Chain A
Amino acid sequence: MSSPANLKYTKTHEWVRIDGDTVVVGITDHAQGELGDITYLELPEIGDSVSADAPLGVVESVKAASDVYSPVDGEVVERNEDAIASPELVNSSPYDAAWLIKIRVSDRDKLDALMGPAQYDEFAGESSH
């Protein structure tokens, strides 16, 4: 399955949608498939600072707890309370209903390092054999 064309991707399997001076962040379909049934989300509070490549939260599945990494430096402006209440949305709708947080970006340079969809699909394919 191809990853959505309008998004950027990290090597830690987050997706990023750039929207003016904010970004929306979630985890990819590949990531949710690797994790299996998602049971719990731990996300930062609105107003919290986040740093590029540092953990911003945790996604738990039945089997394991995994960090979610911030793709950028910035400040959390919104988080998806529906996904927090119903973590299984991450399995059923990783790119839409289960976006995780919105971050106001303080350093746009980090966005240049993100992968495009074709590059990510190749990367994700290699990491799952």
Chain B
Amino acid sequence: MSGEEQGAETRETPLTGRHRALGARLIPFAGWLMPVQYSGIIQEHKSVRSAAGLFDLGHMGQVEVTGPDALAFLQWVASSDISTLNPGDAIYGMLTNPTGGVIDDIIVYRHPDATAGYLVCVNASNRDKDVAWMHQQRAAHPEWNVTVDDISDTTGMIAIQGPNAEAIVQSLTDADLSEYRAFQWLPATVGGVGVMAARTGYTGEDGFEFFCDISGVGKLWDVLMAAGEGHGLVPVGLGARDTLRLEARMPLYGNELADDISPLEAGLGWAVALDKGPFVGREPIAAMKESGPPRRTVGFRLVDRGGSPRHGYEVQVDGRTVGQVTSGAMSPTLGENIGLALVERGVAGIGKPLDIIVRGKPVRAEQVKVPFYKRDR
């Protein structure tokens, strides 16, 4: 039960003072001081599923990729097929490494103005690594006329997620939100703040992620909080963000994804376009697809009581180690312990048993279909 540890290099977002005033518990995360919870993880989680939640995403990184060869560059560094994006579209993908592992998972947004290039949203923990990698790849291809610009320090980011998100945002903007589909983004004025409003998120619910100039973040937060009164909107910390994304079976870098885990092993083959032409890591990923991935990421639920599965816990079958838990938690929506594990492919299969080793003792689990939670559409 350690207290809050604030390193000298821990940065605050423009909203940190508001989080303190709301009574949030603040923790260091990826070099940032971020709210882990306000009222409590379970309550915040359930509010996002039933109403709406507001998230400070000031720690996330944003990289602008512009120039005549921006598409060629992104096709080379990203796993998904960026050429499929019309102006105003977004796509999930990964920055893959030469050995077929994952540097980061990203969303690439094509600007609605076709000449204005792309925005790549990256994880806070990987921002410096990603930017260095992109600059290195750009330098390795001097024939490409492309500019890579880390605009994280001047870009603010807030998400609103949940079934009431659209109604709340619609009350603050003239833009017709019913025109927005998932994985589109468009410029809008929300409560007087100019934003790029993206219909993306990390919770399994409908909602928006807003990008704006960092000077507008405080006002944007305030107008959304005010408009959310009567719609059940609550501020949500990183704790519930993690349980929400796990129920929706969305990967977390450092858990499901790593330098030495293939997208195929992570269950993200759908985000790898092997047929789009050459890209970093294509050959080892294609070879693994041919032979079959040696490990699989599977979903499970605990059948017996014995505590919650957590990242790094050993997984056994018949007393033999077959893998590790990548993420696990007591699911607030399901009221049972769920998790994802990276295991030898031979033991993977829905309905098949696993033993999760919790504090030295095996706890019985069964493999289940994922996602654990899917919203009604």
Contacts and interface: CB of A to CB of B under 8 A. Distances in A.
A40 B3 contact: no
Given A61-B41, A62-B239, 16 more contacts: A13-B1, A34-B1, A37-B42, A40-B307, A42-B306, A42-B359, A58-B359, A60-B307, A62-B243, A62-B329, A62-B330, A63-B36, A64-B310, A65-B310, A127-B2, A129-B3
A36 interface: yes
Interface of A: 12-13, 31, 34-37, 39-40, 42, 58, 60-66, 127-129
B4 interface: yes
B1 A39 contact: no
A58 B307 contact: yes
A37 B41 contact: yes
Given A36-B37, A37-B42, A62-B243, A129 B4 contact: yes
Contacts of A40: 305, 307-308, 330
Interface in B1-34: 1-4, 25
Interface in B280-318: 305-308, 310
A36 B307 contact: no
Contacts of A42: 306-307, 359
Nearest to A39: B330
A12 B2 CA distance: 9
Contacts, number: 53
B40 A37 contact: yes
14 contacts: A12-B1, A34-B3, A34-B25, A35-B1, A36-B25, A36-B41, A42-B359, A58-B307, A60-B330, A62-B243, A62-B329, A65-B307, A128-B4, A129-B4
Contacts of B243: 62
What interface size band does chain B fall in?
20 to 34
Contacts of B40: 36-37
A48 B362 CA distance: 21
Nearest to A59: B1
Contact of B42 (A12, A34, A62): A62
A63 B307 CA distance: 12
Interface of B: 1-4, 25, 36-37, 40-42, 239, 243, 305-308, 310, 329-330, 332, 359
Q: Which of A31, A40, A58 has the most CB of B within 10 A?
A: A40
B308 A36 contact: no
B268 to A, nearest CB: 26
A37 B240 CA distance: 11
A65 B311 CA distance: 12
B17 to A, nearest CB: 16
Nearest to B42: A37
A36 B42 CA distance: 9
A34 B306 CA distance: 22
Contacts of B329: 62
B56 to A, nearest CB: 18
A65 B305 CA distance: 15
Contacts of B310: 64-65
Contact of A60 (B25, B239, B308): B308
A39 B308 contact: yes
Contacts of B4: 128-129
Q: Which of B1, B243, B330, B359 has the most CB of A within 10 A?
A: B1
A103 to B, nearest CB: 20
A65 B359 CA distance: 10
A124 B310 CA distance: 27
A61 to B, nearest CB: 8
A65 B308 contact: yes
Contacts of B3: 34, 127-129
Nearest to B361: A42
